[in-house]
Amino acid sequence: MCFDEHSGTHVDAPAHFGEDSATVDAIDPQDLVLPAVVLDVRERIGADADATITPDDVLAHERRHGPLPGRCAVLALTGWGARAHDPVAYLNADAGGTLHSPGFSAEVMAWMAEERPGVRGVGLDTASLDPGNSTDFAAHVAWLPTGRYGIANAANLDRLPPTGATLVVGVPRYRGGSGGPARVLALVG
């Protein structure tokens, strides 16, 4: 079987950007079944295709819904998933080929790793953890080497409550992989 590790809904393992970090087959199974926290940043991001998720977004969520669970996955609902049916609009490349889509800031990744260490995974409804115009993949670099994983191209985040769902991440356990296509389910109720 042959496929691109980082296509469709997929997991970025710590090894994707972390030298000597866990490969996809070494992600702790306990980290693949977690309470889901959905940060709805659609209103703040609006039409800014280069917007980033910041610590203020997490803090605003906590003010409205309480502290993050001890162990959890933080998912950002940017609204970008509504473009998934149109690959050109989804990737949103300008005339020079630079992509434009929201993503996590390196600042929020480092902040969560330090201030919210129970966050084991992050995800969002765009093609990458970083904003599309990133050239240094700073969010990946700040997050993955800490031993945590990311999910890109998540679908249907708008159907989840801000808290109360359980995320179940099914990812192939092939030896040495830096990630892989995933079946990500959310159990609500």
Task: Give the residue numbers annotated as catalytic, written as ranges.
Answer: 16
Q: What angle do CA 42, 47, 52 make, to 5 degrees?
A: 60
In the chain, the N- to C-terminal Cα span, in Å, equals: 36
In this structure, the number of other CB atoms found within 10 A of the CB of residue 186 comes to: 20
Cβ pair 10, 182 in contact under 8 A: yes
Cα 120 from Cα 37, distance rounded (Å): 12
